[in-house]
């Protein structure tokens, strides 16, 4: 603090201005990352909702005629998306009708600062205007590649932002 | 020698179980009476069927569930489908006596459940209905293979379907692929029927 006091007024002003602008850029960067994370979560949730809608609609026959095997086959189509870890179809009375769990290793929770490590959507399954069941799909935000848990696009975006910020400080 | 009490109880239980209506596994472990399940499934088939527009216009606002022959559905089975709607239309149940279906019924029925009692007349009933947009359903053996549209088949304590898609197509009806994927498809045996 004494060193700062002994500085010339022009240097003091320069340091204060630099600190102020750095803090402003940092806040802006954090806001951008948060905004990106929120957008990313919304996009993933929208994609999951569409998927839930498609699989739910395909399963109306299975629900109406109590064909558990077909419902399980429909859910199994989700195995093409490695990041979907769990999906379930409930009957209208709440009973579990068909379930899918990924056979791949479930990645450990990531201590990444995204708001949630997993995203879950649930949608009613409607047949001819009548609710016949409900589908729930759970997807991880992080994806497992060869045993390594990697935060996806978001981490890359964060890296880009901080690469841009650091030289300005 | 008088039968012992335990023997009598066993005998009574045996008679009661023989007289009780058959039950099928439904909704997991829950069981349901076979006739109720068949009635519910038959009505639900209507949700997966598309009738020609002319058929829907000609029969006012109801969707008519007709039963031909001895009514196989008990009161609880009929109660289970009472007040239901199919494609936004209230379901109306009509029962016709054994024999051929009256002409006016061919015009108004959307779903026709042909009772086991009509087994001997099945060929003439199906010939009468040929090319009419009436969804024929039955639990008579080999119903779909004899030219009927949808057969209800008991398989491992569950009711499954056999569908004669050619018979459906010839009558101008279409069923959803969601129903087709649950069913076993059987070829139409009638002479001249395309394969």
Three-class secondary structure assignment of B56-75: HHHCCCCEEEEEECCCCCCH
pLDDT digits (tens, 9 = 90+) for A87-103: 999 999 999 999 999 87
What pLDDT, on a 0 to 100 scale, did the predictor assign at position A4? 83
Return the residue of B nearest to A55 by Cα: B178
For chain B, how many helices (H) and strands (E)? 8, 12
Which of the two residues, B161 and A4, has the higher pLDDT score?
B161
Q: pTM here? A: 0.75
What pLDDT, on a 0 to 100 scale, did the predictor assign at position A166? 44
Of A65, A93, A128, the CB nearest to B87: A128
- Say whether pLDDT at A73 is over 90: yes
Q: Confidence band (pLDDT; 50, 70, 90) for A148?
A: very low
What pLDDT, on a 0 to 100 scale, did the predictor assign at position A146? 39
pLDDT-wise least confident of A21-25, A115-119, A124-128: A115-119
Cβ contacts of residue A30 below 8 Å, gap of 6+? Answer: none
Q: Confidence band (pLDDT; 50, 70, 90) for A133?
A: very high
- Say whether pLDDT at A160 is over 50: no
What pLDDT, on a 0 to 100 scale, did the predictor assign at position A116? 60
pLDDT digits (tens, 9 = 90+) for B35-58: 999 999 999 999 999 999 888 876
What pLDDT, on a 0 to 100 scale, did the predictor assign at position A165? 42
d(CA A117, CA B192): 62
Return the residue of A nearest to B38 by Cα: A65
Of B158, B159, B182, the CB nearest to A61: B182
Residues 41-70 of A with CB under 8 A from B: 58, 60-62, 64-67, 70
B178–chain A nearest CA distance, Å: 5
H-helix or E-strand spanning residue B99: none
Radius of gyration of chain B (CA): 19
CB pairs under 8 A between A and B: 40
Cβ contacts of residue B131 below 8 Å, gap of 6+? Answer: B170, B171, B172
What mean pLDDT, rounded, does chain A reach? 80
Segment A15-28 shows an average pLDDT of: 95
pLDDT digits (tens, 9 = 90+) for A34-62: 999 889 888 888 989 999 999 999 999 99
For residue B151, give the DSSP letter.
E
B145–chain A nearest CA distance, Å: 21
Segment B183-188 shows an average pLDDT of: 87
Segment B8-22 shows an average pLDDT of: 57
- Say whether pLDDT at A111 is over 60: no
What CA dihedral angle connects B157, B158, B164 and B168, to 10 degrees? 150
Written as six digits, the tokens of A156 are: 């890359």
Say whether residue A89 is in contact with chain B using an 8 A CB cutoff. Answer: no
Residues of B in contact with A67 (CB under 8 A): 160, 182
CA torsion through residues B129, B173, B153, B138, sign? negative
What pLDDT, on a 0 to 100 scale, did the predictor assign at position B26? 60
Which DSSP string corresponds to chain A? -HHHHHS-HHHHHHHHHHHHHHHHHHHHHHHHHHHHHHHHHHHHHHHHHHHHHHHHHHTHHHHHTT-HHHHHHHHHGGGGSTTEEEEEEEETTS-EEEEEE-SS--PPPP---SS-SEEEEEEEEEETTEEEEEEEEEEESEEEETTEEEE-HHHHHHHHHHHHHGGG-
- CA-nearest of B109, B147, B105, B102 to B126 is B147
Return the residue of B nearest to A59 by Cα: B178
| ipTM exceeding 0.95, yes/no | no
Indicate yes or no: CB of B182 within 8 angstroms of CB of A62: yes
pLDDT-wise least confident of A116-125, A145-154, B101-110: A145-154
Written as six digits, the tokens of A1 are: 């603090």
Interface with chain A: mutation pick from B32, B182, B183, highest number of A CBs within 10 Å: B182
Indicate yes or no: CB of B48 within 8 angstroms of CB of A61: yes
Of B27, B86, B181, the CB nearest to A61: B181
What mean pLDDT, rounded, does chain B reach? 86
pLDDT digits (tens, 9 = 90+) for B120-179: 999 999 999 988 999 999 999 999 999 999 999 998 888 999 999 999 999 999 999 999
Return the residue of A nearest to B28 by Cα: A97
What pLDDT, on a 0 to 100 scale, did the predictor assign at position B172? 94
Of A66, A93, A128, the CB nearest to B158: A66
pLDDT digits (tens, 9 = 90+) for B48-91: 999 998 888 765 789 999 999 999 999 999 999 999 999 999 99
d(CA B176, CA A127): 12
pLDDT-wise least confident of A155-164, B5-14, B91-100: A155-164
Segment A66-75 shows an average pLDDT of: 94
Residues of A in contact with B158 (CB under 8 A): 66
Distances (CA, A) of A117 to A11, A68, B112: 46, 30, 53
What pLDDT, on a 0 to 100 scale, did the predictor assign at position B24? 60
């Amino acid at each position: 603090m004494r060193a700062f006091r002994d500085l010339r007024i022009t240097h003091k002003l320069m340091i204060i201005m630099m600190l102020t602008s750095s803090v402003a850029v940092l806040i802006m960067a954090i806001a951008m990352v948060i905004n990106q994370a929120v957008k990313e979560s919304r996009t993933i949730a929208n994609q999951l909702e569409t998927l839930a809608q498609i699989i739910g609609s395909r399963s109306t026959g299975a629900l109406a005629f109590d064909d558990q095997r077909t419902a399980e086959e429909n859910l199994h189509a989700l195995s093409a998306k490695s990041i979907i870890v769990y999906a379930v179809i409930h009957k209208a009375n709440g009973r579990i009708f068909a379930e899918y769990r990924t056979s791949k290793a479930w990645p450990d929770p990531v201590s990444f600062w995204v708001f949630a490590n997993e995203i879950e959507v649930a949608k009613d399954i409607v047949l001819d205007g009548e609710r016949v069941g409900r589908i729930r799909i759970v997807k991880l935000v992080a994806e497992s590649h060869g045993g390594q848990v990697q935060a996806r696009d978001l981490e890359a975006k964060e890296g880009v932002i901080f690469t841009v910020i650091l030289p300005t400080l | 020698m008088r039968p012992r009490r335990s023997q009598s109880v066993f005998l009574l239980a045996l008679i009661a179980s023989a007289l009780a209506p058959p039950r099928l596994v439904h909704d997991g472990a829950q069981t349901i009476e076979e006739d109720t399940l068949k009635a519910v499934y038959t009505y639900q088939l209507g949700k997966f069927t598309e009738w020609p527009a002319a058929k829907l216009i000609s029969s006012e606002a109801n969707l008519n569930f007709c039963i031909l022959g001895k009514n196989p559905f008990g009161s609880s089975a009929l109660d289970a489908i009472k007040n239901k709607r199919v494609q936004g239309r209230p379901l109306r149940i009509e029962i016709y006596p054994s024999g051929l279906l009256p002409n006016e019924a061919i015009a108004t029925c959307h779903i026709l459940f042909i009772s086991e009692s009509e087994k001997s007349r099945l060929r003439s009933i199906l010939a009468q209905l040929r090319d009419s947009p009436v969804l024929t359903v039955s639990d008579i053996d080999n119903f779909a293979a004899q030219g009927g549209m949808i057969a209800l088949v008991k398989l491992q304590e569950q009711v499954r379907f056999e569908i004669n898609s050619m018979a459906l197509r010839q009558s101008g009806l279409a069923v959803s692929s969601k129903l087709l994927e649950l069913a076993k498809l059987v070829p139409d045996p009638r002479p001249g029927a395309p394969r």
